[in-house]
Amino acid sequence: MKKVVVIGSLGVIVYYLLSAFVAIPFGADIIKGVKEFYLQKSPDDLKVANVVTSIVVNFRGFDTLGEVTVLFLASTALGSILYHRRSQHSGLNPQRTSVEASAIVQTGAKIIFPFTVILGAYIFIHGHLTPGGGFQGGAIIATGFLLMLISYRKFFIKHNALTWIEAIAGSTFVILGLFGLIYAKNHDFLENFLPAGKLNDLLSGGIIGIIYIAVGFKVGAEITGILDTLLTVKETGLDPEEN
């Protein structure tokens, strides 16, 4: 009976998928006007030079909020799964079991780390002006912390601080969206209610730039926490005191 239900369900899905493909002629311009709308509204109304940013944060901002939420849930789930192994085999502040990097690598990591963090911050702060944004900048910052984590066995991440950063950044995203319901012209969630500013200026785009900064901090904190969690989990049977 179960096989019949599964095969029947798959048949229905395949039927509607094929129907959708058949109904749309190959090469047909079914989204005529959407591209022009984005290209016009982004610089003229939103004062955002990066059209991709205006789409991600404004026109489909609720979807971006969902993506950030999914990343948060994935990070939380991973931390919950590995927490028992961290606390049982590694103590409160576990030390990684990997071989410590050479002096050259450690010196290079110390030099590169601050510049990597600055680069990531620059990218998400200017996400509404140039290619990049919160996700890219946050990933770059996490890369800098990863460099330090693999170079120094005793370089620890304070997960309480990461939790606060995630909470403040996520709350900022949601609060700005709620303010749109109250203060924006059309009273829509995540609608801009701040002055748009002047095109190509740093203080332009209204809430778009602020949201991307919040996303950058949140993504950077979550990925850094995931990397630290993965690197500080020890194999069963290892003695924490030997490192």
Span between the terminal Cα atoms of the chain, in Å: 56
In a domain, 39, yes or no: no
In a domain, 9, yes or no: no
What tens digit of pLDDT does each residue of 59-101 get? 888 888 888 888 888 888 887 777 665 544 444 344 555 567 7
In a domain, 152, yes or no: yes
Predicted pLDDT of residue 97: 56
28 against 239, higher pLDDT: 28
What is the span of the domain harbouring residue 99? 49-242
In a domain, 38, yes or no: no
CA distance 158 to 113: 17
Predicted pLDDT of residue 159: 82
In a domain, 36, yes or no: no
Nearest-CA neighbor of 52 among 202, 61, 185? 61
What tens digit of pLDDT does each residue of 102-154 get? 888 889 999 999 999 999 999 999 988 888 889 999 999 999 999 998 888 77
In a domain, 135, yes or no: yes
Predicted pLDDT of residue 84: 61
Residue 11: count of CB within 10 angstroms of its CB? 10
* CA 237 to each of CA 25, 94, 233: distance values in angstroms, whole numbers, following the listed order: 62, 14, 12
Task: Write the single-letter amino acid at 135.
Answer: F
Predicted pLDDT of residue 239: 44
In a domain, 119, yes or no: yes
Q: What is the total count of domains within the chain?
A: 1
